[in-house]
Structure 1
């Protein structure tokens, strides 16, 4: 029986090549789109879950409470680890690490500036590193040791054995290679290419040894013997800072490592989402695209119901049961799904490189992974069952006597179902069009919103090596200005686009002593405003003609918090030091361009400088100016690579998530529209075939081609119009919910809805007209000669 059903299925597919191609093409694109999106979702979902005991591992978070809000961040005191290990039951391993930073590592003539982390020895066990060379039990116990990843070891030593070789860190500290470990998985939140012991970090940063419970400067990871210890441990962590520092407003809590990447957004001390929100959208998008491909199959299969009716009648008359017929039609759909899977597989392989270039990661198919094959096979079976279920039960329901007597199916019920399915497809397509337009509107709104300084032609040069000497920085500034490549130069303690470096120890007249207000600190040298083009609302910039060592600049937000309408000239306290406000800057964007500005205080000091900021000469060629700058920096600091960056590139990186969402919505929304058009084309083919005689009679009676086109398009335009009426309220709710996550957002106008309505109508008319023109131009004699 199976062999017979297979033969019948293959003959039917071959006989109706047009419908077969449309069905297989639509299902293939749907499956490919679904699989690519699921690969991405699986990649993101797998963040930090590749480690053996990730489910028992937690990162310590810090809630800093103020009268208005609670700030949540992962920085903790350095003294926490030892205290927790001694006092908190159930902790099996605990490790501190500094924030991953690029540092210079040198072996003979090979120098690389790569990601590094100072860690406690337990780090290697918590994140169970795959050891390729060395003795893991001895790792990081020697203060002057280092562990390399496989790629860095290869770059430094080639084919030499790296063990016990001596490297130099930042051309000062000599380190002995203790081991080589496998490269860090790309979907791990902690990225590094070499590890060094925490004892070395304390040696290089002497202040950390005296740092108390009020100094948050490291990450802390905790792994329990068993999760039964978690609840009591978490309560102990809550109390830990205040038990040692009564005046502190910090409260620690344990956050699961598995949630760190996906649920990274906090509001008032509570996780409210993050990357997971985007992942949910892509997961839903994946199955919606597959669903509309299945809808196509249902539509086209039921559209051919009249042609299959006699076959059903004959087979029932000779004894075939309904179950056997259902099996026959399900086999056809499964066969179609398997063919689509092959097409999808080819499409995935072809499109993955391009998709990777869009999202900036390297997704790949692991052919040895049973989960991939299981998912692909499962999706194929699901597609076959979903797309074939309704046609199978509908077609097998025909009564043989009525069909064989020449009864013509009215098709009203099936037609209404088909119309409903077309409406569903275009509801989804219209929603995607509206959402994609609003995403791009929001992106453009934020990108074009004033940021408080001119980021164009502004470059940042990290202060490292010889440039750490103030005299060398002065030489650098002098040579850059004399070269004509730049017009002004200043120093800054952070990247312009970076956050961090803040505290509570600023007070002013009238401030409530119990209020804990977090102020961001920055340090600069002369010509800050001239170089960055920050806007000065009142007062002046730092000037060598004045003694500005105890003078500061503040931003508008800080002035508002202090309640000062004219703050210039006011004296405030920074710790125990009296300082004077000499200027008020317009709020500028530091961390997120989507959120309101935070209070900023900028002091005049060259000591904490970490970056040289230079404004390129607008009258010079950019490439030539950059080459000149690189040459000057390299001569002054030959042992370090020149890794200057453009500020606008750093700023552009802040829109990565929104750009990714917009790009993927654009591409996969396009696929959804294309699949919907395939279904519409197939339905138009059927409708034109059904109405061939009617059209011929109308032509004989004098109807023009335009009249025929209008007749055939009218029904489909109605369906698309109904779809838009349903889609627009849904799209509004979805996009309004998405925009609610931003403090600065575009208002939802009628424009996206108008564009979606026009686009969907044009798409429908063009799709249907492809077939309608052919029918309208046909000779009526061909349809009426047997009447």
Structure 2
């Protein structure tokens, strides 16, 4: 019986090539879109889960109440790991590590700025990276040693065996390679190329040896013996700061490692979400697109119901049961789904390189993974059964006597179901249009919002090696200005567009002693205000004319407002126990999140070698390429042992919008696919309606109706469906987009334009799609439809 049904199914597909092509194309696009989105969701979901005990491993977070709210971050004191290991019951291992940062590693003339971390032995026990060479038991014991990843070892030594070979760190420490590990997976929150002992970190930075509960400078990881200890351990973590430092108001908590990537947004000291919210959107989008493709199949199949009616009647008359007919139609659906799946694979393999470039990741299909094939089989069967369910039940219900006597389709509940399905498709499409439009409005609003400085032609150069010496730094600044390549140059204590140092140890006259206020603080060089293109609100900036500026500070507008100072210039503040005089107020400018309000900030004079970057304004009178070449040459002459590390500030600033750009791009692409598939569904209903009303249309033509009159008649019903879909979609879209925007301090107001755009696009799509089929019917010869009457 199966063989016979398969032959009938293949014959029907071949006989109706156009119908089959539309159905297969819709299902293929739906399946391909769904699978690409599921691949991305699975990739993000797998973050930090490659370790054996990831479910028992936790990141120590610090909660600190300041400025009226709770700040949470995974930065902890260097003494945290030891305290947790010794004092918290149920802890198997506790480890501390620095966050990855650039370190120069040299082998002969081969100099590479690598991403490096310093860690203790427990780090390797908690995160069990695969060792290719060397023993995980022996590593990180000796001070002057290093562990390389496989690809980094190849960069340094080529095809030579790196074990026991020597490398030089920052042109100072000679280290022996004691192990090689597999490359850190791309879906890991800690990405590095080499690991060095914590003891080496202490040797290079003597201040680290001092236990200080007020200095949050590293990451602490904790692995529990069993998760049954979690509640007790987390409760004891709560007061760990206070137990070790009486006046420290911070609190600690254990945050699961396998949730670190997806649940990194904290409100009032508790994890409330993060990238997981974006994944939920993509997961919903994936299955909605697939559902739309299934709805198309239903609409297109039932649109051909009159053509299949006699087949059903004859088969029932010769003894076929309804169950057998249902099986036949389900088999056709599954066959179409199988062919669509094959086509979907081709579409995925063609499109993955583009999406990898867009997402800046490496999504691949693991054909050797049994779970992948099982998921695919389940998805294919689910699609086939969902898509074939309504056609199978509807077509198999025809009564043979009525069919064979002369079957006429009537406007019944099945037509109503098809209309509901099409409305559902356009509800999703219209909501997606609104949401995508608002995402782009928000992105453009924040990107074009004044940021308080001029980021064009502004570059930052890493201060490394000999240049860290204040005398050398001043000499380089002088040479850069003399070269004509730059018009202004200054220094800054952190990456200019990233977060950095903050403190609550700031006091001033009138401050509430019971209130902790968090201030960002940076060290800046002379001519800072002029270089970055901001302005002074009052007072002056630091100048070489005032040698006493080592005892001065600048405040930004947010700091003045927070401190409640009416005349800030001349006011004395106490910063880290030192009295400093306010000499000026700088206009607020963005250095961290472009979506959040500018934080209170204190600027100190950079006179003690605190500079981490030079910020330079390229000269407008010179070619950019030649200016950059001059800059590189001067930096290289000053410090030939390090590669020049510079970047444009506006490029770094663009990185702040990465997540929103990704959300907008994926919504745009897959929204387009959803709308295209919805058009196929609308075409299915148009085919059905045209076939149902062909005699009515022919009579109207005979009575003098024009093609335009008939097009208006046919389009009117579909425009009503689209109008109903928009009325349902708009409240849903408003709720979704309003919730998304609520996460930003700076956000665009929701206007009527996105909703107007959704109306225009959806109506235009409906009219064009229906008209393509309606024109054929309207122009058909009425004799062909009426000659049997």
Deviation at 1:67, TM superposition (A): 6.1
Residues 486 and 67 of structure 1: CA distance in aligned 2, closer, same or farther (over 3 Å): closer
Match of residue 491 from structure 1: 491
The 3-state SS of whatever aligns with 1:608 is coil
1: CA distance, partners of 2:367 / 2:411:
46
2: CA distance, partners of 1:234 / 1:73:
16
2: CA distance, partners of 1:45 / 1:83:
32
1: CA distance, partners of 2:648 / 2:84:
43
2: CA distance, partners of 1:769 / 1:255:
57
Alignment of 1:506-521 (within 5 A): 506-521=506-521
Match of residue 218 from structure 2: 218
Deviation at 1:240, TM superposition (A): 1.6
Alignment of 1:287-306 (within 5 A): 287-306=287-306
2: CA distance, partners of 1:653 / 1:326:
54
| 1:338-391 per-position Cα deviation (integer Å, ceiling 9, x unaligned) | 111011111000000001111111101111111211121111111001111111
Match of residue 206 from structure 1: 206
Deviation at 1:710, TM superposition (A): 1.4
Residue 756 of structure 2 is aligned to residue 754 of structure 1:
yes
2: CA distance, partners of 1:774 / 1:685:
10
| 1:709-765 per-position Cα deviation (integer Å, ceiling 9, x unaligned) | 212212111111111111111111111111111111100000000011001111111
Match of residue 151 from structure 1: 151
Residue 676 of structure 2 is aligned to residue 674 of structure 1:
yes
Deviation at 1:397, TM superposition (A): 1.3
Residue 711 of structure 2 is aligned to residue 709 of structure 1:
yes
Match of residue 554 from structure 1: 555
| 1:385-431 per-position Cα deviation (integer Å, ceiling 9, x unaligned) | 11111111111111222222214231421111111111111111000
| Equivalent position to 1:610, from 599, 609, 612 | 612
Match of residue 356 from structure 1: 356
Deviation at 1:93, TM superposition (A): 1.4
Please give the TM-score of this superposition, normalised by the length of structure 2.
0.98
Match of residue 380 from structure 2: 380
Alignment of 1:239-254 (within 5 A): 239-254=239-254
Match of residue 425 from structure 2: 425
2: CA distance, partners of 1:270 / 1:777:
66
| 1:253-276 per-position Cα deviation (integer Å, ceiling 9, x unaligned) | 111101111000111201111000
2: CA distance, partners of 1:274 / 1:118:
28
Match of residue 591 from structure 1: 592
Deviation at 1:703, TM superposition (A): 1.8
The 3-state SS of whatever aligns with 1:112 is strand
2: CA distance, partners of 1:633 / 1:371:
53
CA contact (8 A) 2:409 2:692 kept: no
Deviation at 1:621, TM superposition (A): 2.0
1: CA distance, partners of 2:699 / 2:482:
87
The 3-state SS of whatever aligns with 1:601 is strand
Point out the more displaced range, 768-777 or 134-143: 768-777
| Equivalent position to 2:700, from 677, 698, 701 | 698
CA contact (8 A) 1:19 1:682 kept: no
Match of residue 768 from structure 1: 770
Deviation at 1:91, TM superposition (A): 1.5
Residue 331 of structure 2 is aligned to residue 336 of structure 1:
no
Match of residue 581 from structure 1: 582
1: CA distance, partners of 2:119 / 2:180:
16
1: CA distance, partners of 2:269 / 2:340:
48
The 3-state SS of whatever aligns with 2:232 is helix
Deviation at 1:642, TM superposition (A): 1.4
1: CA distance, partners of 2:622 / 2:773:
58
The 3-state SS of whatever aligns with 1:217 is coil
| 1:677-725 per-position Cα deviation (integer Å, ceiling 9, x unaligned) | 1122233233223333322222222222211221221211111111111
Match of residue 637 from structure 1: 639
Deviation at 1:445, TM superposition (A): 0.5
The 3-state SS of whatever aligns with 2:175 is strand
CA contact (8 A) 1:484 1:617 kept: yes
2: CA distance, partners of 1:538 / 1:73:
34
Alignment of 1:408-557 (within 5 A): 408-546=408-546, 547-557=548-558
CA contact (8 A) 2:303 2:687 kept: no
Residues 759 and 67 of structure 1: CA distance in aligned 2, closer, same or farther (over 3 Å): closer
Residue 570 of structure 2 is aligned to residue 569 of structure 1:
yes
CA contact (8 A) 2:552 2:604 kept: yes
2: CA distance, partners of 1:549 / 1:254:
41
1: CA distance, partners of 2:211 / 2:2:
77
Residue 743 of structure 2 is aligned to residue 721 of structure 1:
no
CA contact (8 A) 1:22 1:679 kept: no
2: CA distance, partners of 1:480 / 1:775:
75
Match of residue 124 from structure 1: 124
CA contact (8 A) 1:452 1:534 kept: yes
| 1:427-463 per-position Cα deviation (integer Å, ceiling 9, x unaligned) | 1100000000000000001011111111111100010
2: CA distance, partners of 1:718 / 1:619:
61
1: CA distance, partners of 2:122 / 2:577:
39
1: CA distance, partners of 2:720 / 2:210:
75
1: CA distance, partners of 2:120 / 2:470:
33
Deviation at 1:499, TM superposition (A): 1.2
Alignment of 1:262-281 (within 5 A): 262-281=262-281
The 3-state SS of whatever aligns with 2:217 is strand
RMSD of Structure 2 on Structure 1 (CA)? 1.2
Deviation at 1:785, TM superposition (A): 3.6
Alignment of 1:78-157 (within 5 A): 78-157=78-157
| 1:450-491 per-position Cα deviation (integer Å, ceiling 9, x unaligned) | 111111111000100121122221221112111211100000
Match of residue 316 from structure 1: 316
2: CA distance, partners of 1:642 / 1:412:
75
Deviation at 1:776, TM superposition (A): 2.4
CA contact (8 A) 2:302 2:688 kept: no
Point out the more displaced range, 251-260 or 682-691: 682-691
2: CA distance, partners of 1:784 / 1:253:
79
Match of residue 258 from structure 1: 258
CA contact (8 A) 2:459 2:649 kept: yes
Deviation at 1:252, TM superposition (A): 1.0
CA contact (8 A) 1:147 1:177 kept: yes
| 1:500-532 per-position Cα deviation (integer Å, ceiling 9, x unaligned) | 211111100011222211111100110001100
CA contact (8 A) 1:22 1:682 kept: no
Number of matched residues? Answer: 787
2: CA distance, partners of 1:513 / 1:407:
88
Runs of at least 4 residues off by over 6 Å: none
Match of residue 163 from structure 1: 163
Deviation at 1:766, TM superposition (A): 1.1
| Equivalent position to 1:739, from 735, 738, 741 | 741
Residue 4 of structure 2 is aligned to residue 34 of structure 1:
no
Deviation at 1:781, TM superposition (A): 3.1
Deviation at 1:780, TM superposition (A): 2.7
Point out the more displaced range, 443-452 or 684-693: 684-693
The 3-state SS of whatever aligns with 2:772 is helix
